[in-house]
């Protein structure tokens, strides 16, 4: 009724190719942003920030990054954890070496460092394809973690190899360290996520995005129509790693504050982010959000229901958590094999015809 193109006249090409062609979607988009920027920061507390929002926002950035590589460019990667570690350690070294530079630059430069590392590990993708490519990224994963564990320079020669984020400010508001307020940490993550999502959306619908998708659909055919696979693939690795590096830097500096490389950036992290984009939907920015939300918020929600409402023993609840998450993944797949993003698309299709579907 209210969700349709009819009556929304577009007079320029620009309007015709905008992200949200339907008026209601645009309103919804601005409403979501308004709530995220103008409402949540005023009500957020430590618990909601640390347990739900900050991990969700940071994982979303990582998922967007991986989705560019895997969803748009078709290159399977299991090196996300290793690349996040690069971002985190780059950020740590920068924070301790240049304490006077604003943390925002540190995070961005960390992304740049990760992009370089990612592109280097992307080189084998020119030769190895499909599932087999995962080996190159797995090599990156294990090698990088080993490197950061072994070379004491990376953790400033501390006794245990843990890195701790010192307190840093944006303006005069602390965003890292224990005294940072929940809203400040939330807002900086949100700003980064918004910018990253905008960049990703505009990259993927532009010329670069189309070359990526051509590579994904069939790289030989893409080469024939004039796409340079070297450039396109390495670009995808670099851009994807940039986002992942940013998320790794924030994961360390803002979210956890102290990390140990093997525990925080191990292979499990790579799998987790991959699960996010597959569950959310490959090749979809919205899917990255949905997948991150599913795997970050669902466990917390199940725990709240199981332990706090029903009063079950904690170990039973966490076993059930696994059973329920696993069953839900399989259930969703059987109902809708293309991830949550596809469900969302279908819901929108239905809504456009509602209430007169015929």
Partner 1 sequence: MPTNVLYLIEVLANGLMAGVMYSLVALGFVLIFKASGIFNYAQGVMALFAALTLAGIMEGQVPFAHMINAVFGTKIHHFGWHVPALAAIAMTVLVMIAFAWAVQRFVFRHLVGQEPIILFMATIGLAYFLEGVGDLMWGSDIKTLALGLPQGGSRWLEDATAGWGGDDFYGFFIDKLDIVATGVAIVLVASLIAFSQYTKHGRAMRAVADDHQAALSVGISLNFIWILVWSLAGFVALVAGIMWGAKSGVQFSLSLIALKALPVLMLGGFTSIPGAIVGGLIIGMGEKLFEYTFGPMIGGATENWFAYVLALIVLVFRPQGLFGEKIIERV
Partner 2 sequence: MTLKKLAALALTTTLAAAPAVADLVIPDLSYRTGPYAAGGTPFSDGYQDYFNLLNARDGGIGGEAVRIVECETGYNTEKGVECYESTKGEGALIYQPLSTGITYQLIPKATADQIPLHTMGYGRTSAAKGEVFNWVFNYPANYWDAASVMVNYLLGENGGSLDGKKIALVYHNSAYGKEPIRTLENLSAQHGFKLDLLAVDHPGQEQKSQWLQIRRSRPDYVLMWGWGVMNQVAVQEAANIGFPMENFIGNWWSGAEHDVTPAGAAANGYKSLNMNRINAELPVFADIKKHVHDAGNAAGDGSNIGKVLYTRGMYAAMLAAEGIANAQSIHGVSDITPAQLRDGMESLEITNARMEELGMGGVGPAFSVSCSDHGGNGLGIVQQWNAGEGKWVALTDYITPDDAVTQPLIDEDAAAFAAENNITPGCL
In the complex, the residues that contact partner 2 under the rule CB under 8 A are 45-47, 50-51, 55, 96, 146, 149, 158-162, 164, 166-167, 177-179, 255-260, 262-264, 266, 300, 303, 307, 313-315, 317-319
User: What, of partner 2, partner 1, none, does residue 181 touch, CB below 5 to 8 Å by kind?
Assistant: none
Closer to partner 1 by Cβ: residue 18 or 321: 321
Binding at 179: pick from partner 1, partner 2, none (beta carbon under 5-8 Å per type): partner 2
Tokens describing residue 144: 């990088």
Instruction: Using the minimum distance from each CB to partner 1, give the nearer residue, 38 or 334.
Output: 334
Nearest CA-CA partner of 62 in 255, 273, 258, 250? 273
Residue in 300, 321, 345, 351 binding partner 1, rule: CB under 8 A: 321
Three-state DSSP at 170 gives strand
**Helix, strand or coil for residue 209?**
helix
138 makes contact, choosing from partner 1, partner 2, none, with CB < 5 to 8 Å by partner type, with: partner 1
Distance of CA 5 to the CA centre of its chain: 31
Question: Residue 220: which residues within 8 A CB-CB, separation 6 or more?
Answer: none
List helix spans (H) across 76-124. Answer: 80-97, 103-122
Contact 95, 254 (CB under 8 A): no
For residue 282, give the 3-state DSSP assignment. Answer: coil
312 binds, among partner 2, partner 1, none (CB under 5 to 8 A by kind): partner 1
Q: Does 157 bind partner 1 (CB under 8 A)?
A: no
Does 338 participate in binding partner 1 (rule CB under 8 A)?
yes
Quick one: what does residue 12 bind among partner 2, partner 1, none, with the CB cut-off 5 to 8 Å set by partner type? none
Which residues are within 8 A (CB) of 339 and not within 5 positions of it... i.e. 6 or more apart?
278, 279, 280, 281, 282, 284, 287, 290, 291, 332
Query: Taking CB under 8 A as the rule, does residue 138 contact partner 1?
Result: yes
Q: Cβ closer to partner 2: 3 or 142?
A: 142
220, interface contact from partner 1, partner 2, none, CB < 5-8 Å by kind = partner 1
> Taking CB under 8 A as the rule, does residue 337 contact partner 1?
yes
Contact 307, 314 (CB under 8 A): yes
For residue 205, the minimal CB distance to partner 1 (Å) is 22
**Distance, first Cα to last Cα, the chain:** 13
Cβ pair 283, 276 in contact under 8 A = no
Alpha-carbon gap, residue 200 to 206, rounded angstroms: 10
Of 158 and 202, the one with the shorter C-beta distance to partner 2 is: 158
- Residue from 1, 32, 97, 327 in contact with partner 1 (CB under 8 A): 327
Give yes or no for a contact between 90 and 249, defined as CB atoms under 8 angstroms apart: yes
- Binding to partner 1 (CB under 8 A) within 161-220 occurs at 218, 220
Tokens of residue 80, six digits: 């996300």
**Interacting residue ranges for partner 1, rule: CB under 8 A:** 124, 127-129, 131-132, 134-136, 138-139, 141-143, 145-146, 149-150, 218, 220-221, 224, 267, 271, 275, 278-279, 282, 312-313, 315-316, 319-330, 333-334, 337-338
């Amino acid at each position: 009724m209210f969700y349709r193109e009819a009556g929304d006249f577009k007079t320029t090409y620009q309007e015709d190719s905008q992200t949200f062609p339907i008026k209601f979607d645009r309103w919804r988009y601005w409403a979501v942003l308004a709530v995220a920027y103008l409402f949540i920061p005023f009500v957020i507390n430590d618990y909601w920030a640390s347990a739900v929002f900050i991990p969700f926002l940071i994982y979303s950035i990582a998922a967007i990054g991986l989705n560019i590589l895997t969803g748009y460019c078709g290159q399977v990667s299991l090196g996300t954890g290793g690349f996040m570690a690069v971002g985190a350690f780059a950020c740590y070294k920068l924070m301790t070496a240049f304490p006077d530079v604003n943390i925002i630059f540190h995070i961005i430069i960390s992304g740049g460092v990760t992009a370089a590392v990612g592109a280097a590990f992307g080189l084998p993708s020119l030769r190895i394809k499909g599932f087999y490519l995962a080996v190159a990224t797995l090599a990156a994963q294990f090698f990088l973690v080993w490197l950061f564990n072994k070379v004491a320079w990376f953790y400033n020669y501390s006794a245990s190899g843990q890195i701790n984020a010192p307190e840093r400010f944006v303006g005069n508001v602390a965003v890292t360290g224990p005294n940072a307020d929940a809203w400040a940490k939330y807002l900086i993550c949100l700003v980064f996520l918004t910018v990253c999502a905008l960049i990703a959306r505009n990259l993927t619908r532009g010329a670069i995005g189309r070359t990526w998708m051509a590579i994904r659909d069939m790289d030989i055919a893409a080469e024939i129509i004039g796409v340079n696979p070297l450039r396109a693939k390495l670009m995808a690795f670099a851009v994807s790693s940039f986002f992942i590096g940013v998320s790794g830097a924030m994961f360390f500096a803002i979210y956890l504050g102290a990390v140990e490389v093997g525990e925080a950036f191990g292979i499990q992290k790579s799998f987790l982010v991959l699960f996010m984009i597959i569950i959310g939907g490959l090749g979809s920015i919205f899917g990255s959000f949905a997948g991150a939300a599913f795997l970050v918020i669902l466990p917390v929600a199940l725990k709240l229901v199981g332990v706090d409402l029903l009063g079950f023993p904690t170990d039973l609840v966490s076993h059930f958590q696994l059973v329920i998450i696993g069953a839900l993944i399989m259930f969703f797949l059987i109902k809708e094999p293309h991830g949550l993003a596809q469900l969302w698309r279908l819901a929108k299709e239905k809504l456009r015809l509602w209430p007169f579907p015929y």
